[in-house]
Structure 1
Amino acid sequence: MAVVARGRCFPRAWLRRRAWQGCGREYRVAICTELKQPLAIEEVSPRSVRPHEVRVDVHFCGVNFADILICHGQYQEKPPLPFTPGMEFSGIVLETGADVSTVKQGDSVIGWSVLNCLAEECVIDEKTLWKIPEGVTLREAAALPITYGTAILALEHRACTQPGETVLVTAAAGATGLAVIDVATNVLQAKVIAAAGSEQKCRLAMQRGAHSSVNYSQGSLKEAVRKLVGNGGVNVVIDTVGGDVFLEALRSLAWEGRIVVVGFAGGTIASVPANLLLLRNISAMGMSWGQYRHKNFPLFSSILSSALQYCQQGRIRPHIGAEFKLEEVNDAFLHVIQRESTGKVLLSLK
């Protein structure tokens, strides 16, 4: 027998509910039981919190391309099956362990983890929770950890973007692209050229604060940028696409320009022509957001605190492009895979 969710038909086994061992009330989670297959929705029993852990009633989860990669076995971390994907959430603290001192029951928080966030409850180390300040909604906060963490880290820490500089961002209408536009324009006072693959996405990027836009499906990105800024080029590029788009963006950099690679949404990893780095004193660098959790946790934590502060001050405004229910998680994944999404995609669990 099959069930229908948002117009799509799934075998009932893909949306089954199964009680795990345990006692007390149960809650729903999204489970990956087989790679490259739709997720199941199951009911599980809660486990006890350890002294340093916090139990959170999850209200919103972010849906990221990395979640899909993990469920396809294509991410750098490959957890054993079965597992619950999900890297970020917002919610309300339900319970704290004996040694927890940073949050208390009833606090609104955001959290980050490689796994286990696509669930109605999440048990997580207190170090990877941040209190949501007054005036920031749970919905807004859920859009901050990965996309705005990436944008702030890439622009401020890696590229050292200065006021008045010109920033070119590729895949500008995606969640990270719009976050880069928001931070560069409204926090760092830079000018942004938004590069995207359709006129509709270019218009959205302009509405969200970009100074100008380029549709790179219509011709050379380098030539389009040259028409906008002249032969001098742009100061900073934040690239999430890779491939030919990366190479065109690299050739658009000014003297002592900086390009930060944060992803390969186009599916192709380009080789860097070192002669371009030499001739223009260009810096090409990578930025893997999640690794800072292990390599430089104080910076990782401060970046998320900055995102929350910027949001509270009204300097940034996350754009939520689509919202799904937990039982629609497979539709949410498909929405991202088919490049239908603009801005952040969330799961609403309430």
Structure 2
Amino acid sequence: MKAWQITELGEPAEVMRLTDTERPVPADGRLLVKVLAAAVNFPDALMCRGHYQIRPPLPFTPGVELCGEIVEGDRAGERVIGTPLLPDGAFAEYALMDPAAAFTAPPALDDAEAAALHIGYQTAWFGLHRRARLQAGETLLVHAAAGGVGSAAVQLGKAAGARVIGVVGGPEKAAAAQALGADLVIDRHREDFVTAVKEATGGRGADVVFDPVGGDAYTGSTKCIAFEGRILVVGFAGGSIPAPGLNHALVKNYAILGLHWGLYNTYDPQAVRDCHTELTALAAKGIVKPLIGARLPFDQAAAAVQKVADGTSIGRLTVHP
């Protein structure tokens, strides 16, 4: 089969190579899946660089999210979504999956949309509901609101009845965030988001901040967080990991919450299954629908991962073998 492989660590565009390799062989109850669409995630880029918490042995095929069709066994023909078993990742014609982590693809979504539903929307749902306990009527501030996980947070925030303020970088991303339903969109290249959030909330600030960026986004968020607000730390796509001043959190009476969604697969897998059921229902009603920035042919996988690594993509990019 054809597969993209990493034999040395570095920038995705430089180290991802399209190769001919053996199709993975299922064993120990694993599922062989024909990949219909692979969604590009920021962790794919981190994995290429060797900066992710999971470091597969070289060589490996990156790609942590897919929509595929089971090709043999009792579930043959079923369209599923989820995370493949590394080192045989999603950027290949075939991949292996754990049966317990292969979720039935929502019928309301096509292959690209279904591939992009799992990680981003699960992350946003657990962050907003399990960690931050977002309530209807609260103000939610979403950084990188036109990105993969940020766009999911905008849609799920609106579904929860929150007032959503999205922060983006550039007019194209602003238009995308508006189309997703954000009540207010702030282009950080044109105005200071701290001032804009304070003005929009009458000086009160945001009740919940969804931050997959880190760096200046986090620092600014501490300046416009409401009394008893919650700052949700989701990732550091900006490349800088802030060192929070705990005295500031004490004085302003806000909470800093971390989210590592992958841990729920270990400690509370039933919650992950329940979330999938909820997301499937929301997709059936048209309330959530992944923002697909581009559907790309298989030979553009390396360029797609690099684009996400550089922060220039809008929504989710999907690759189709």
Interval containing the TM-score (normalised by the shorter chain): over 0.9
263-272 vs 106-115, greater mean Cα deviation: 106-115
After TM superposition, the structure 1 stretch with the greater mean CA deviation from structure 2, 210-219 or 146-155, is: 210-219
| 1:180 lines up with 2:153 in the alignment | yes
- Report the equivalent of 1:43: 20
Q: Given the two structures, how large is their TM-score scaled by the length of structure 2? A: 0.94
C-alpha displacement of 1:123: 1.6
Larger radius of gyration: 1
Question: 1:158 and 2:131 equivalent?
Answer: yes
Q: Which residue of 1 aligns with 2:187?
A: 215
Deviations, residues 238-263 of structure 1 (Å, cap 9, x unaligned): 00111121111122111111110101
Corresponding residue number in structure 2 for 1:239: 211
Q: Which residue of 2 aligns with 1:332?
A: 304
Aligned to 1:109: 80
Partners of 1:196 and 1:202 within 8 A in 2: yes
Instruction: Check the 8 A contact 2:168/2:186 in 1, yes or no.
Output: yes
Q: 1:262 aligns with which of 227, 230, 234?
A: 234
Give aligned-pair identity as a percent.
34
Alignment partner, residue 4 of structure 2 = 30
* Structure 1 contact 261–286 (Cα < 8 Å) conserved: yes
How far did 1:189 drift?
Answer: 1.4
* 8 Å contact kept, 2:66–2:83: yes
Cα displacement string for residues 72-108 of structure 1 (whole angstroms, at most 9, x for unaligned residues): 1111121111001110100111013xxxxxx611111
Displacement, 1:190? 0.9
Deviation at 1:337, TM superposition (A): 2.6
The counterpart of 1:80, out of the listed 57, 75, 92, is: 57
Query: Is contact 2:291-2:316 (8 Å) kept?
Result: yes
Unaligned runs of 5+ in 2: none
Q: CA deviation at 1:148?
A: 0.7
Q: Which has the higher contact order (CA 8 A, sep 6+)?
A: 2
SS in 2 for 1:139: helix
Is the CA contact 1:320–1:343 (under 8 Å) kept in the aligned structure 2? yes
> Which residue number corresponds to residue 293 of structure 2?
321
* Contact 1:241-1:264 within 8 A present in 2 as well: yes
Question: Residues of 2 paired with 1:219 and 1:213: CA distance?
Answer: 11
Letter in 1 for 2:297: K
Residue 243 to residue 131, structure 1, CA distance change in 2 (3 Å)? same
Q: SS in structure 1 opposite 2:72?
A: strand
**Secondary structure at 1:346's aligned position in 2?**
strand
Q: Tell me, in whole angstroms, the C-alpha distance in 2 between the residues paired with 1:259 and 1:114.
A: 32
1:205 aligns with 2:177: yes
Moved more, 210-219 or 169-178: 210-219
Which residue identity is paired with 1:172?
Answer: A
Deviation at 1:114, TM superposition (A): 6.1
Paired positions, count? 316
1:95 alignment partner, SS class: coil
Name whichever of 130-139 and 151-160 sits farther off. Answer: 130-139
**1:343, CA displacement in angstroms?**
0.2
Is 1:293 paired with 2:269? no
Distance in 2, matches of 1:168 and 1:341, equals 20
Q: Is the 8 A contact 1:147 1:176 kept in 2?
A: yes
CA pair 170-52 structure 1, distance change in 2 beyond 3 A: same
Q: 1:292 to 1:43 in 2, by over 3 A?
A: same
Which residue is equivalent to 2:201? 229
**Contact 2:109/2:289, CA 8 A, preserved across alignment:** no
Letter in 2 for 1:54: L
State the TM-score, normalized to the length of structure 1: 0.86
Deviations 1:140-191 (A, max 9, x none): 1111011111111111111111111110001111111111111111x21111
Matched, 1:141 2:114: yes
RMSD: 1.6
- Whether the 8 Å contact between 1:226 and 1:252 is mirrored in structure 2 is yes
Question: What SS does the aligned partner of 2:113 have?
Answer: helix
